[in-house]
């Protein structure tokens, strides 16, 4: 932590739906001591800071909330990057790449100029590739450049499985891995209720639980973003809470396991690609990747998702 070591400071860049859902949840949860809001639209950032400050009297912790600029990143511990364009109904995440890359180019340089040396946490889509962009532009250790990855998809999966098996989602241990997007996958061989494999539960209760239902749940997780955007034009509460969960895990040095987007360096036979995988998260970012023992077909699917992310990267930036 760079500042006095006691103050937990977050800079939120991009005060749109996602940035402000994070900021509001961070205030409600007391996730940090200081929060600075930065946006190309300064008036919006100012208004948002005023609005949040007016809730301080009801919040359970005190927090210094201001609108600022990139110089304020100098002593931030974590930058939450939510700036950029979002999907329109029917649009996929990859199609945002070129536009959001330009947005990020205007952000990362002044952030580095401020002297920031904390953890970058990226939410902007396509999140795995945007995280790779920040890693490349910043030159930071890859452990300190994290994407929200499949954290939200994993939460959606746990919610739907909890509902299906009538079990508290907190006791559902299952992950979505790979791209936060159309090629993401669920390694069912690693899915448990408590410590009991879900497949074993299916085998023991063939009348109640069906393999096809699980497939449908995976599809619903993958399509959730599209459905919400169709219905209300944007998704933000879920990701706002997911970002708070990640930030808390970093600040408290929790060493929690979350499926953030991180750079794979040989894990699962993949090199140089950022993708969502279960990681142990501590004070300095990703402490280590928790490598799952995937079955052959799962490994193929995961490699396919990473291959897609890599080829989009190469086609866009190297050709
Ligand atoms: P939004 O349009 O509401 O907000 C974007 C904000 O970025 C705006 O306030 C805008 O002024 C600001 N901005 C644009 N260019 C900027 C620049 N150059 N410098 C500083 N600020 C700039 O969009 P949103 O709904 O908040 O979505 C933000 C991003 O988050 C999108 O890319 C969206 O796809 C993504 N998203 C990710 C997840 C996830 O799971 N990772 C979930 C939902 C949305």
Q: What is the DSSP string of 112-174?
A: HHTT--SEEEE-SSSHHHHHHHHHHHH---GGGEEE-TTHHHHHHHHHHHHHHHT--GGGEE-
Distance 123 CA to ligand 1 centre (A): 8
pLDDT band at 21 (very low <50, low <70, confident <90, very high): very high
**Residue 313: Cβ-neighbour burial (10 angstroms; 0-12, 13-18, 19+):** buried
Q: What pLDDT score was predicted for residue 87?
A: 79
Give the nearest ligand 1 atom to 107 CA. Answer: 19
For the chain, helix, strand, coil in percent to 5 are: 50, 20, 35
What contacts 313, CB < 8 A, 6 or more positions away?
Answer: 129, 132, 273
State if residue 239 touches ligand 1 by the CB under 6 angstroms criterion: yes
pLDDT band at 138 (very low <50, low <70, confident <90, very high): very high
Average pLDDT over residues 167-187: 97
pLDDT band at 2 (very low <50, low <70, confident <90, very high): low
Every domain of the chain and the residues it spans: 9-147, 151-317
% residues pLDDT > 90 (the chain) = 91
What contacts 245, CB < 8 A, 6 or more positions away?
Answer: 151, 256, 258
Please, are residues 279 and 245 in contact by the beta-carbon 8 Å criterion?
no
Residue 224 has pLDDT above 90, yes or no: yes
Residue 23 has pLDDT above 80, yes or no: yes
pLDDT band at 60 (very low <50, low <70, confident <90, very high): confident
State the chain's mean pLDDT as an integer.
95
Q: Taking the CB of residue 168, how many other CB atoms lie within 10 A of it?
A: 10
- Take atom 8 of ligand 1 and give the residue whose Cα is closest: 16
Q: What pLDDT score was predicted for residue 198?
A: 98
At residue 279, the 3 state secondary structure works out as strand
Give the nearest ligand 1 atom to 130 CA. Answer: 32
Q: Among 11, 41, 51, 86, which residue has the most ligand 1 atoms within 8 Å of its CB, making it the best to mutate? A: 86
Give the nearest ligand 1 atom to 102 CA. Answer: 18
Q: What gap in Å lies between CA 62 and CA 34, rounded to an integer?
A: 9
Q: Model pTM greater than 0.75?
A: yes
> Domain 9-147 class?
alpha beta
* Fold that domain 151-317 belongs to in CATH: L-2-Hydroxyisocaproate Dehydrogenase; Chain A, domain 2 (3.90.110)
State if residue 96 touches ligand 1 by the CB under 6 angstroms criterion: yes
Structure tokens of 243? 């970002």
Average pLDDT over residues 101-105: 93
Q: Helix 296-313 and helix 127-138: axis angle, to 10°?
A: 60
């Amino acid at each position: 932590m760079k500042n006095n070591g006691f103050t937990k400071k977050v800079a939120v860049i991009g005060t749109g739906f996602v940035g402000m859902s994070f900021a509001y949840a961070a205030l409600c949860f007391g996730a940090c001591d200081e929060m600075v809001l930065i946006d190309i639209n300064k008036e919006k950032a100012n208004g948002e800071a005023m609005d949040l400050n007016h809730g301080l009297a009801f919040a359970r912790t005190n927090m210094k909330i201001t609108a600022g600029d990139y110089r304020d990143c100098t002593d931030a511990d974590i930058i939450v990057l939510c700036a950029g364009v979002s999907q329109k109904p029917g649009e996929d995440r990859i199609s945002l790449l070129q536009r959001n890359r330009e947005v990020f180019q205007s952000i990362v340089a002044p952030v580095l100029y401020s002297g920031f040396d904390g953890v970058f946490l990226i939410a902007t889509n396509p999140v795995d590739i945007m995280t790779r962009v920040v890693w490349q532009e910043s030159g930071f250790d890859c452990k300190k450049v994290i994407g929200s990855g499949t954290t939200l998809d994993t939460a959606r999966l746990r919610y739907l499985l909890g509902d299906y098996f009538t079990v508290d989602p907190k006791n559902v241990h299952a992950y979505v891995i790979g791209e936060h997007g159309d090629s993401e996958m669920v390694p069912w061989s690693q899915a448990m209720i408590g410590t009991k494999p879900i497949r074993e539960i299916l085998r023991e209760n063939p009348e109640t639980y069906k393999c096809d239902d699980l497939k449908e749940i995976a599809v619903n997780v993958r399509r959730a973003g599209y459905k919400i955007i169709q219905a209300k034009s944007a998704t933000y509460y879920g990701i706002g809470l997911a970002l708070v969960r990640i930030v808390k895990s970093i600040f408290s040095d929790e060493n929690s396991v979350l499926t953030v987007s991180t750079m794979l360096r040989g894990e699962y036979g993949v090199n140089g690609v950022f993708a969502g995988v279960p990681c142990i998260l501590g004070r300095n970012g990703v402490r280590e990747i928790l490598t799952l023992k995937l079955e052959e077909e799962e490994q193929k699917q995961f490699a396919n998702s990473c291959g897609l992310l890599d080829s989009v990267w190469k086609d866009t930036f190297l050709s």
